[in-house]
Structures are given as structure tokens and as C-alpha cells.
Chain A
Amino acid sequence: MKKAQVVKKIIVREEACIGCHLCEFYCAAEHHPSKDVLKAFGPGRERPRGRVRVVEEGPVSFALVCRHCDEPLCVFACVSGAMERDPETGKVMHDPERCVGCLSCVLACTNGTILWDEKRGVVAKCDLCPGREVPACVANCPNEALLLTE
């Protein structure tokens, strides 16, 4: 049987997370047209949003980030065909142009890592930073709480 392609994944090591939220900042900057932290978060600008979210309580903190599942239930739930598995890279990719904001993917995602952008009426999720060798969050985590693995 043809197995799903292996794709590089971001592994979360919650024991190493110090709750600095830098992954959130660098993700937001990477997905801002300028791809620059200072420009993205400059004064007077609308605060940009990334696709990774840090949750914390007491001593525990970690990033919630899409794991590009071998079994992408979000792709299988998507009504509009906006959520697809890239046949070459195996990445689970979301097309905001086709998205209708039905949130079926949110119902399907067993990790709760798909973000709802109420303002734009579409969802957002990790795209493993196309154009970068190492995703921005992994590259900028100071304590290896986010790792890339093939």
C-alpha cells in the first residue's frame, strides 16, 4: 500500500520551553510581507499574527503547532478543497483564497493547532515556512523546544 509521504515535522519539546514566545514573533514576522520582525511589529501597525501559539500555565508552556499529520483529518474534512496535502513535499497546506471559513478543519484537528482569523473569515496554520531551509520558529527558539525532524 502506498504510504503517506514522510514530511519534515516540527517536534515540540515542552520540557525545554521557557515561555519566551519568540516562536510566535518570528512566525508572525515571517508571514508578514516584509519578513522582518521590526517592520512587522513597528509602531502604529496592526499586530501581525503567526500560525503558532504558545500556551502556558504555571511552569508548563509549549507551542501549539501543526504537525502535518500523515493522516491529515483536516484535509479530509475540508469542504471547499482549501486544505490540501502537497503531493511533492507531503506538507499540509492551506489556501486562504479557497477557504470559506466553515471551520470543519478545526473540528477535525486533534491537536487544536488550526487558528481562526475572525477578521478575515479564514483559518491559518503552519506552512513549514516555504522558502526557508529551517522554519522561523525552530530557527529562533533559544532552547530547542522546537526541533525539525525528517
Chain B
Amino acid sequence: MSNFLLLTSNFRIMSMENYRYLIIGNSTGGIGTVEGIRAVDPEGPIAVIGEEPGPAYARPLISELLSGEKTQEQIFYRSPRFYPDNRVDLFAGTRAEEIDISGRLVRTGDGKTRGWEKLLLAVGGTPIVPEFEGRENPGVFTFTTREDALQIREYLRKREGGKRVVILGGGLIGLKAAEAFRARGLEVVMVELQDRVLAPVLDPASSRWLENVLSQEGISLRFQDTVARALPVRTGGFPLSVELKSGNSIPADLLLVAIGVRPRVELARVSGLQVDRGILVNSRMETSTAGIFSCGDVASIGDFFTGTNRPIPVWINAYWGGRVAGMNMAGDDREYEMGMMMNSLRVFGKPVISAGLVNPPAGGGVEVLQGEEKGSRRTLLVRDGRLLGFSILGEIQSAGILAALIRSRAEIGEFRPRLLKPDFSLLDLPRGFRQELREGRWNRSEKSTLV
């Protein structure tokens, strides 16, 4: 604990802003927390500290910003009146630098110190960049913020649009970036360490299906390879020579590193909170210190299937977990019991939705069911007569019912074959079960509801 904070705490009453709720992080986790608090406590003062300037924006839409399909104004997450309407003081463009847990203070980069009664950390993750020669080159970018999208656009503008990019990473970020670059007319070479795209999100057959789509869209795919060097070698008008571990070299305008994101646990660790790969929280979204909560990409949450904790950094977990955290900060008693992979996106227009376990976990006993028609395919994982996970490409119409089946741990024995139908709907469930879903009951506890 620094002398600065000890000094400041003496002046707490006189000169400092005190908040009942202080939220560090102004993306979907922080906003979910605000809305969870306000569902219980309409008045207690809330402060949100955001490192990025301005109101919260929808991070997944930075690819639309890169492609030019959307403007900055079009990707805000809530209306401009969100903060005043919810009595939230937003301090954007400044970073939380120090947390004094016993004094209940947070100091931000602008030198201000604020007091809190309940604290939440939703500071998200930071892109992983492997150690390779040339990573400091101006043509090397990561892609997780609005600013990244704007800087890439500016860089390409200076290159007169650019001709070719290399993307390191065939995951969600890499794919969306690839789509944006193709929309701008650039050649795209995607380099992935594994033997397929979207390995954490899809089963192998679905990866293959999607790879056909990517190839048709002009994306060149290189598997089981990675970047060794990015040299500022002028070849054929390109400023970069991207050298792969396999020995191949690709002249390019830009190298985008999109191999993953790791939770930003530094502040929490230094402050004394328990951290594994992320900030550890219980099912109430509370950390090892009472009164301090965490949610979103930085948090290590209870895994629905294993019961152990790990970061599961997807949009839905961030917002839904944030709501639970917020309601609990305001005095309610809720639990977040839905921690699992859940993803939905379109890749070159093709819907891709998956949830739960899509690759069989260790331990065996898992049945994999697959169905494929023209333009669509589906994979289901079943164990002990219960749905563990699914992936659907194309006909996604009733994906939410499958997600509900996973969460309810319902026995699907009777209607299992029907789950593979592209036009699967409530009609395919037993009448009693579909009536439960119609009435909003589906084997969940009161504590786990988000309102």
C-alpha cells in the first residue's frame, strides 16, 4: 500500500468522491453490472471507470468498423442517455492503477482517488503476442479495440489501401478480421497453429465445412504453422516479409496477430485478490475478498460441466455474469450457473452458432451425432442421455432451444434424433417439456434468473 493512498485516505471525507458501487471496466461486463445493480437498487451512486474514451461500444463490431460497414457512432452499446438515466458517473479515458482494499479506494491514472463500498473488476483481456523478431514493426497489429480498427484503417490508407495481409490465428477474432479485410479488397493469408479453424468453438467436421466457405471467399489457409519473423524487407512493393516457421515467406502490407487474449489480472493480483488464469470468483461472482466482484473476460468463473474455475471469455458470460454480480453487489443473492462456451456469429454471411462442449471431453462415454444437408450442418454431443453441446452452421433457427436443453440437463432420450433436423423446433419436444419452455420454466433455480 503506497504512502500516496494512506495520505489520501486521511482526506477521504473532505475531498474525495465516494460511491456505493465502483465498476472498473466500461464494456459489456461493466454495463451488465450497472443494469444488475439498478434492477435491485435504483439510487445508490455508481461510478464506472473506463480505460477507453467515451461511452461503451460493442467490441465484436470493431470488424464492421474495420470493413467500413459501420461508423463509430453506430457501434455504441447503449443509447447516449444510458449513463445519466442510470445515475452513473462515467470516468472514461483513464485507467485504474491502484486498489486499496482495506481503505476501499481506487486511484486512477489521472491522479484521482475514489472511495467505494462495493467494487467490481471487469477489465477484460489483453491480446497475446508471441515473441518473434519484428513484432515491434509498425505493420504488426493486434485487433481487440476500436482504436486498433481505426489505426489499421489509417495504416492501410497510407499504403493506398494495401494489397495483402497475413493473419496469425484462425479463431473468432482472426476470422472476423479476415472478413473485414476481404471486404476492403485485400488478399488474406490466414496462418493457424492447429490443423483447423475455430478449434475451441467448433467440432472438426464443422471446421472443415467452414474452411470450404473461407476458401471460396478467397482466403488462403495455412495450418500447423506460425510466424517466426516479420522483417521490414521491401519485396515487390510490400513493406513486410512475414516468415513462417515452416520456412515459407509471405510479402505483406500488414501482419495481424490474433492468437488469443489473456485476462488482465495484474491489478487484482497486486491488490491481493486470488487469481488463477483469471480473477477467481464464486458462483455469486464474488472474489476472494468480500465486497469485491469480477465478471467478463478477466474473470475465472465456474464451468458448468466441470464445476472448476476457468476464464470463459465470451460476450454472453460477460453480460449475464455482470448482471448477477450487480444484483449481488446491491444486496440480492443470485448465482451465475451458466458458465460455458456460447458463440454466435456470421462468417461471410453464414450463421455459425455453438454452445457447450463441441469436442468430446476426456472420460469417454460421449456420443457424437451429426447431420448435414445442402447449406447446413449440425453436430450434437450427448452423454448419459443429456445434451452436452452443439454446433450449427446454416439453419440456426432453434439454436436457443438446444442451449436451453443443455442448461436444463434434461434427458433427451425420446426426441434425440429430432434434434438433428434443420427445422427442429418446439414441435419436436415432448408436449410437457415444450409447455414448460413456453411458460419460462426450464429447470432453473430462482437464484439463477437474471431479473
Contact = CB atoms under 8 A, between A and B. Distances in A.
A3 interface: yes
A73 B32 CA distance: 12
A115 B396 CA distance: 10
Given A103-B396, A107-B399, A116-B396, A79 B61 contact: yes
A55 B58 CA distance: 35
Contacts of B442: 110
Contacts of A100: 61, 64, 70
Contacts of B138: none
Contacts of B205: none
A115 B115 CA distance: 47
A1 B320 contact: no
A102 B437 contact: no
A110 B349 CA distance: 23
B401 A110 contact: yes
Interface residues of B, number: 50
Most A-side CB within 10 Å, residue of B64, B343, B397, B404:
B397
Interface in A93-141: 98, 100-104, 106-112, 114-116, 118, 121
A110 B58 contact: no
Interface string B372-412: 00000000000000000000000011111101100000000
Contact of A76 (B60, B323, B438): B323
Nearest to A74: B400
B39 interface: yes
B319 A116 contact: no
B438 A103 contact: no
Contacts of A70: 440, 451
B332 A1 contact: yes
A112 B316 contact: no
A55 B425 contact: yes
Interface stretch (A35-43, A44-52, A56-64): A56-64
A148 interface: no
Given A71-B440, A81-B78, A112-B398, A107 B355 contact: yes
B404 A110 contact: yes
Nearest to B64: A100
B85 to A, nearest CB: 9
B83 interface: no
Contacts of B315: 77, 79, 104
Interface string B423-448: 01111000100000110101000000
A114 B399 CA distance: 10
Contacts of A67: 438, 440
Interface string B49-63: 000000000101100
Interface in B329-386: 332, 342-346, 349, 351, 353, 355
B42 interface: yes
B449 interface: yes
A16 B424 CA distance: 22
B77 interface: yes
B348 to A, nearest CB: 12
A55 B397 CA distance: 13
Given A101-B346, A106-B397, A112-B424, 17 more contacts: A1-B39, A62-B427, A64-B425, A67-B440, A79-B315, A80-B61, A102-B344, A104-B344, A106-B399, A107-B342, A107-B355, A108-B316, A110-B400, A110-B404, A110-B437, A111-B401, A112-B425
25 contacts: A1-B332, A55-B427, A60-B427, A67-B440, A70-B440, A76-B319, A77-B320, A79-B60, A80-B61, A102-B60, A103-B344, A103-B346, A103-B399, A104-B315, A106-B353, A107-B353, A107-B355, A107-B399, A108-B400, A110-B437, A111-B426, A115-B397, A116-B351, A116-B396, A116-B397
